[in-house]
Amino acid sequence: MAILKQGLIGTFTGKMGSLVISKWKNRYVGKSRPKASSKPATVLQLDYRSRFALIGQFLRRFQQIIPIGYQDSQVGTTPGNEAMKYNLLHAISGVYPDYKVDFASVKLSEPGYAGEIDGGTDPVLSVLPQAKIKLSWKNPARFNYPHTKDTDIAYAVFYHPEKKMSVYPTRPLRSKLELELDLPGMFLGEVHGWLFFGSADRKLVSHTQYLGKVTVIA
């Protein structure tokens, strides 16, 4: 892999002969174009590709939230890579070729080296008429992690598996203890939810809590 510097020709990405140029961690890098293999894929390769495609397609629905939840990733990796690595190992159920996303095991945040803050206590997800949902949580009398503050932000995410669509409500402060969301009409039916908290400066997060599934009604 070569690291490219901008020159008189400007910035570009794509293929140039046998060289593929792309942006990675604010740098432009060049790699040789991989050669297609004439060998048929093994069962193990097909198995891995199936799992990788499943989680990759699923996590694309959360591109706005993953850089917040996984921002303190290891050296040389990206938030997206860290999210893929965890969920490939922990958030898949079934046997090849009938894999499914294990929604209860999905993690959209990972506390990093800087430390961890508390998640919401006893979160409750409920449905209201006219395609509305309500999420509430409690704050303990004493937080378990010293950097936890009332000004932490609640990041809630809701996903409709049939439509393969996600939605992010407004992000209230931890101290508000609840949020209500008017969902689009297309979100009627089964919806899954997750919740984590992040510090106001985005340096600390809590672990993700799975909120369960609800049936959104008209």
Structure tokens at 68: 């917040």
Spatial contact of 152 and 190, defined as CB atoms under 8 Å apart = no
Do 18 and 60 sit in the same domain of this protein? no
Q: What is the pLDDT along the chain (218 residues), one digit of tens a residue?
A: 555 555 433 444 455 556 666 666 666 666 666 666 678 889 999 999 999 999 999 999 999 999 999 986 666 789 999 999 999 999 999 999 999 999 999 999 999 888 899 999 999 999 999 999 999 999 988 999 999 999 999 999 999 999 999 999 999 999 999 999 999 999 999 999 999 999 999 999 999 999 999 999 99
Find the helix or strand (DSSP H, E) in which 48 lies: helix 43-59
Edge to edge, the sheet with strand 132-138 lists 121-128, 132-138, 178-182
Instruction: Examine the domain organization and report whether 93 and 131 are in the same domain.
Output: yes
Residues 54 and 153 in one domain: yes
Phi/psi for 72 (5° steps) reads: -95, 65
Residue 8 confidence (pLDDT): 39
- 61 and 159 in a single domain? The answer is yes
In a domain, 38, yes or no: no
Q: Are 216 and 127 in contact (CB under 8 A)?
A: yes
For residue 201, what is the DSSP state? T
What pLDDT score does 141 carry? 87
Decide if 126 is inside a domain: yes
Q: Assess whether 27 and 50 both reside in one domain.
A: no
| Residue 197 and residue 164 share a domain | yes
Residues 177 and 117 in one domain: yes
Query: Which phi and psi (to 5°) does residue 28 adopt?
Result: -105, 125
**Structural domain includes residue 24:** yes
Domain of residue 57, residue span: 43-216
Taking the C-alpha atoms of residue 110 and residue 194, their distance in angstroms, rounded to an integer, is 13
24 and 132 belong to one structural domain:
no
**Which tens digit of pLDDT belongs to each residue from 32-71?**
666 666 788 899 999 999 999 999 999 999 999 999 999 8
Q: Are residue 54 and residue 23 in the same domain, yes or no?
A: no
Q: At what angle do helices 43-59 and 79-90 cross, to 10 degrees?
A: 120
Q: Which of 83, 138, 79, 119 is nearest to 205 (CA)?
A: 119
The answer to whether position 139 is within a domain reads yes
Check if the beta carbon of residue 99 is closer than 8 Å to that of residue 106. no
- Can you give the pTM of this predicted structure? 0.82
How many domains are contained in the chain? 2
Same domain, 101 and 12: no
- Are 124 and 20 within one domain? no
CATH code at position 192? 2.60.40.10
115 with 15, same domain: the answer is no
Four-point Cα dihedral 170, 171, 174, 180, nearest 10:
20
